[in-house]
């Protein structure tokens, strides 16, 4: 399978990428290409121009910043998974990056691509939503910060405009708080049939869900039940409230509703004992 024809431009900087996005018909950014190229081969995606940001120096980093950690958008899953800084201060992000696809995918795919793609089955967006992460985007009007809660707007839709480049992902330092990301998939390299993230906080926990609707979701009913004193098992019974999972080859909507309650209980037990 070969993609349809397109023009190819290498962006030397974020500003150049923004300019190219504005001046070319139907242009799309190319980062690791591990969502975009498969879609182009199937001709689900047919961009007129690819603007390759994969060679922009300085957008791949993990560093301490204030009381959190800043991750450059071009940081590959492999480098997120093995970052000592993340392992120590925000282990759930490193752990989850290591659960994505397989080693070859992790050698190419980037955290910025995962977030910008807006795939509801993607692992990191659900974790970033749970962490109340901040996403930094640069567009023709300059830089702005978007809360994860406002970022994921629909299936393959995000708050990014057509000329925006996501440049950084900012996550909090978790201190000693317990966490878990549990992903259930049919085969080793598959996307999550259901994924559940839990991070202990204020005696309760924040809980996020993957593959349970058009966007990653916060399991608010679970969080509220914990806040009112329910234990993990009782709170987890609320996990599918408000979710609208779809049915596909990986599982039916009913199966997902069952699975999410089981995984939420296990994730809470793990996070709250940590």
Pairing of strands 204-210, 217-218: antiparallel
Residue 103 binds other proteins (CB under 8 A):
yes
Residue 123 binds ligand FAD (CB under 6 A):
yes
- Write the interaction track for other proteins spanning residues 140-179; mark x where CB under 8 A is met and - where it is not: ----------------------------------------
What's phi and psi for 230, nearest 5 deg? -65, 150
Question: Is the Cβ of residue 41 or residue 144 nearer to other proteins in the bound state?
Answer: 41
Q: In Å, how far are 39, 97, 175, 209, 243 from 77, measured between CA atoms?
A: 19, 5, 23, 20, 28
CA dihedral sign of residues 78, 122, 85, 207:
negative
- Distance, in Å, from the CA atom of 274 to the CA atom of 271, rounded to the nearest integer, reads 5
Site residues for other proteins, 41-70, by CB under 8 A, read 41-42, 50, 52, 54
Residue 4 binds other proteins (CB under 8 A):
yes
Alpha-helix residue ranges (DSSP H) falling in the chain: 14-23, 36-41, 77-81, 84-89, 91-97, 103-106, 111-117, 123-130, 148-151, 220-227, 232-236, 253-273
- Cβ–Cβ under 8 Å, residues 129 and 152: yes
Residue 32 binds ligand FAD (CB under 6 A):
yes
Residue 68 binds ligand FAD (CB under 6 A):
no
Residue 159 binds ligand FAD (CB under 6 A):
no
Question: Binds 133, which of other proteins, ligand FAD, none (CB < 5 to 8 A, cut-off by type)?
Answer: none
Which residues of the chain form contacts with other proteins (CB under 8 A)? 1-8, 30, 33-34, 37-38, 40-42, 50, 52, 54, 78, 101-105, 107-108, 188-189
> Site residues (CB under 6 A) for ligand FAD?
28-36, 38, 73, 100-101, 105, 109-110, 112-114, 116-117, 122-124, 160, 165-166, 189, 191
């Amino acid at each position: 399978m070969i993609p349809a024809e397109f023009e190819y431009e290498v962006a030397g900087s974020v500003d150049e990428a923004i300019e190219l996005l504005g001046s070319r018909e139907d242009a799309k950014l190319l980062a690791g290409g591990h969502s975009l190229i498969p879609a182009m081969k199937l001709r689900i995606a047919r961009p007129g121009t690819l603007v390759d940001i994969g060679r922009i120096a300085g957008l791949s980093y993990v560093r301490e910043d204030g009381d959190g950690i800043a991750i450059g958008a071009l940081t590959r899953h492999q480098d997120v998974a093995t970052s000592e800084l993340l392992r120590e201060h925000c282990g759930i992000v490193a752990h989850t990056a290591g659960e994505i696809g397989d080693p070859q995918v992790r050698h190419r795919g980037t955290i910025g691509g995962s977030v910008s793609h807006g795939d509801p089955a993607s692992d990191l967006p659900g974790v970033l939503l749970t962490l109340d992460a901040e996403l930094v985007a640069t567009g023709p009007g300059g830089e702005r910060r978007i809360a994860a809660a406002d970022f994921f707007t629909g299936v393959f839709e995000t708050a990014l405009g057509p000329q925006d480049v996501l440049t950084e992902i900012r996550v909090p330092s978790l201190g000693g708080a317990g966490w878990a990301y549990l992903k259930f998939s049919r085969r080793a390299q598959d996307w999550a049939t259901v994924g559940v993230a839990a991070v202990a906080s204020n005696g309760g926990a924040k809980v996020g869900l993957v593959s349970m609707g058009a966007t990653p979701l916060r399991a608010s009913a679970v969080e509220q039940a914990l806040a009112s004193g329910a234990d993990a098992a009782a709170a987890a019974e609320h996990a599918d409230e408000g979710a609208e999972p779809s049915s596909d080859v990986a599982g039916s909507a009913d199966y997902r509703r069952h699975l999410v309650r089981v995984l939420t209980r296990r994730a809470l037990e793990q996070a709250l004992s940590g």
